Structure 1
Amino acid sequence: MPFKTRAVVALSQEKVVLRQVTVPDPAPGEVVVRAEYSSISTGTERWVITGQFHAPGAKPMPHPMVPGYQKAGVIEALGAEVTGLHVGQRVFATTSRMADDEVLPGWGGHIEHSILPQREVIPLPEGLDPVKASALVLTQVGYNGGFRPPVKPGTPALVIGDGLVGQWLAQALRHRGARVVLAGRRADRLAIAAKWSADVTVNVRETPLEEVAKREAPAGFDIVADSVGTRASLEQIIPLAHHESHLVLNGYYREGENLLDIQLLHGREITTHAPAGWTRDRLIATLDLVAKDAMHVRELMTHIMPVEEASEAYDLVLRKPSEFLGICLKWQ
């Protein structure tokens, strides 16, 4: 029998609430996961809720919807044919299927009881802080970008963007041996980056990137990586790359920001990487680094808020009345 559970619901582009929704019983091969913590993908979810996340020419996701795609929780039930998992096991989970007459799943991440295929459920190491696993999809986005270009010890790399993806991208590059310069515009986020994510931080409101490049990579950067997702940010960092370097496109390039003069790359023979989405193998590899404290998650969570304050959490995301970096919702 379908049953009621709580979910974060975007009623419109401006209003997000916590309310009851209906989910189905698990089908064969599906798992029921009760959320403990779910983390907001602050960039992507903002674009989704405000109708800016869609393929060129396609329609945005309709409202009302349940946004998000990442949570840590505990298995409450198993459908037939599920093997290798057990009730009470702490896991990471992504999306959810729904059976609601009014609310669409979106991706269905921020929901107390998720109904999802076993392939989207990953067991957590014993004793791992669930907050560290609650943002695994987005942490994996940074991992994916950071593991694309070749890296040698001391490889000079420039990351632009001081948000979560930029910081995890920088952490992945740094873990592989690169010397990472992270550029951004927010002093509070750069202070966190200086402690956990990068070798050098630069506030572009105070110091021109060109000045830093002359000091840190006088011959040009081997790797330039964008997590901002604008044409302007790309045009800012590409000239700082040397001949036959690597460009990582680790942002979401919405309509109006998704066109680039290819000659900028052609003239320097730059190899370009365009990572996107998630895979189970990459999630598991990222989780391994998180468990080993090679990638830092809790340290980037500036706000851990009870899910009853979901409206206030999304007000931060949509209207930015005050500074934040990572936002995690606590369900229990």
Structure 2
Amino acid sequence: MKTEVVVFESLNKVGVWSIDLPELGVNQVLLKTYYSSISPGTELRTLAGKEKHASPFPFVPGYSTVGEVVAVGKTVKGLKKGTMACVRGGLPLNDKLGSSWGGHSGHLIVSQEEIFILPDGVDYRNATLATLLATALHGVDLAQARIKEQVAVVGLGLVGQMCARLLHFGGANVVATDIFEYRRKIAEQAGVTVVSPTSNLRKAFEPHFPYGAEVVLDATGSPKTMAMSLSLLREKPRQDPCGSAQDDAGGNEIGTFEILKQKSHLQNGWRGPRIIVQGSYAEPINICYYDLFDNEAGFIVPRVHELKDVFRAIELLADPKFNLGGLVSETHSYKDAPAIYQKMRENPSDVITECFSWK
């Protein structure tokens, strides 16, 4: 049996190949793909040869796929043909073609443990985002943002959009920014407050967070932005000899409500601000130790996601109250993959992500 696959052939070169499928193993499942979505940060980085964990060229990219179970191995139990599921990529299909992570394929072979059954009524194109939504959930969990806590999100690509919406959905006071107006508009349409960035990012957020944010989530993937993101962290309040709270920036008295809030921080134990490095970074990140030390700030780097996060992501996909609108910009035939990747490389401002149709 043959199937077609998107292949990263060499640096910045994409093709569509027809290959033979291997025989199905006893504990494996064959999935006929309906849709697969692009993870822009990871996939464009692998295409440029900058992903540390990628297979050598040529390889099949992608790890966000939805399809129908069409065959199961002899020992597979409790899984019927016709079941709709999402998967996090597939196994390598032959010895000459690598997998990073094999999701953009007309058929996928996966182990039974990698099948995540979709509930009825879920939009299949949105369901291709389950893996990335799980990654966003993992980062948001580590942020531990409380209801009404001030959260700044910097970078509104696909994962940044999801994080901002999850935090807003959970009751945090979220303000977000991105250099691209299109991305800010998409987030705003989902109910997230946005600001236009300036050379002084602290000034851009100041009308909303005059004393900084308790949580800063950087999803830019740009190490150059890190210093600006760190500047958004709330400064640790201090006490003068008489015990009154003061503004650390200038020692001036601040508003009555803010004084009470700062005193509460001091009396109940300082819960330091946190920066979540949620983006995907190909280059080293340089930070100033004292940017964290002075405020007893946490620096958290989430590692992808856990299995439980995928199940929770699927539950969210089925929740009509959770807004995923605008994240999948367009759906294209997989045969157009070379042109789509070129467009995303050349015009990143015009898209959040794209989806391939394999039907």
TM-score surpassing 0.5?
Answer: yes
Q: 5 Å matches for 1:13-92? A: 13-54=11-52, 61-92=55-86
Q: 5 Å matches for 1:1-332? A: 3-54=1-52, 61-196=55-190, 198=192, 200-205=193-198, 208-242=200-234, 243=236, 244-255=272-283, 257-320=284-347, 323-332=350-359
In structure 2, give the amino acid aligned to 1:143.
L
In structure 1, give the amino acid aligned to 2:169.
H
Shifted more, 240-249 versus 146-155: the winner is 146-155
Aligned-pair distance for 1:197? 5.5
Q: 1:322 to 1:162 in 2, by over 3 A?
A: closer
Q: 1:318 to 1:213 in 2, by over 3 A?
A: closer
In structure 2, give the amino acid aligned to 1:237.
S
Gaps of 5+ in 2: 237-271
SS across alignment from 2:185: helix
Shifted more, 220-229 versus 276-285: the winner is 276-285
- d(CA) in 2 for partners of 1:137 and 1:197? 23
Gaps of 5+ in 1: none
Aligned-pair distance for 1:208? 4.3
Aligned-pair distance for 1:322? 6.8
Aligned-pair distance for 1:49? 1.2
Q: State percent identity of aligned pairs.
A: 27
Give yes or no for contact 1:142–1:170 (8 Å, CA) kept in 2: no
In structure 1, give the amino acid aligned to 2:318.
A
SS across alignment from 2:98: coil
Aligned length: 323
SS across alignment from 1:224: strand
- d(CA) in 2 for partners of 1:53 and 1:31? 28
Aligned-pair distance for 1:159? 0.5
Aligned-pair distance for 1:144? 1.5
Give yes or no for contact 2:333–2:358 (8 Å, CA) kept in 1: yes
In structure 1, give the amino acid aligned to 2:75.
E
- d(CA) in 1 for partners of 2:331 and 2:227? 35
Give yes or no for contact 1:21–1:103 (8 Å, CA) kept in 2: no
SS across alignment from 1:240: coil
- d(CA) in 2 for partners of 1:43 and 1:147? 21
Give yes or no for contact 1:157–1:181 (8 Å, CA) kept in 2: yes
CA RMSD of aligned residues (A): 1.8
- d(CA) in 1 for partners of 2:2 and 2:111? 19
In structure 1, give the amino acid aligned to 2:91.
R
Cα deviations by residue, 1:118-165 (Å, 9 ceiling, x for unpaired): 121100011211011112111222221122222222111000001111
In structure 2, give the amino acid aligned to 1:92.
C
Aligned-pair distance for 1:264? 1.9
Aligned-pair distance for 1:298? 4.9
How does the TM-score come out when normalised to structure 2?
0.85
Give yes or no for contact 2:24–2:30 (8 Å, CA) kept in 1: yes
- d(CA) in 2 for partners of 1:229 and 1:188? 18
Aligned-pair distance for 1:45? 0.3
In structure 2, give the amino acid aligned to 1:209.
L
Q: Tell which structure's C-alpha radius of gyration is larger.
A: 2
Q: 1:318 to 1:102 in 2, by over 3 A?
A: farther
SS across alignment from 2:99: coil
Aligned-pair distance for 1:192? 0.5
Q: 1:44 to 1:79 in 2, by over 3 A?
A: same
Give yes or no for contact 2:153–2:177 (8 Å, CA) kept in 1: yes
Give yes or no for contact 2:32–2:69 (8 Å, CA) kept in 1: yes
Aligned-pair distance for 1:281? 0.9
Cα deviations by residue, 1:210-236 (Å, 9 ceiling, x for unpaired): 223321112220100100122222110
Aligned-pair distance for 1:4? 2.1
Give yes or no for contact 2:122–2:317 (8 Å, CA) kept in 1: no
- d(CA) in 2 for partners of 1:321 and 1:273? 27
Shifted more, 242-251 versus 144-153: the winner is 144-153
Aligned-pair distance for 1:266? 1.8
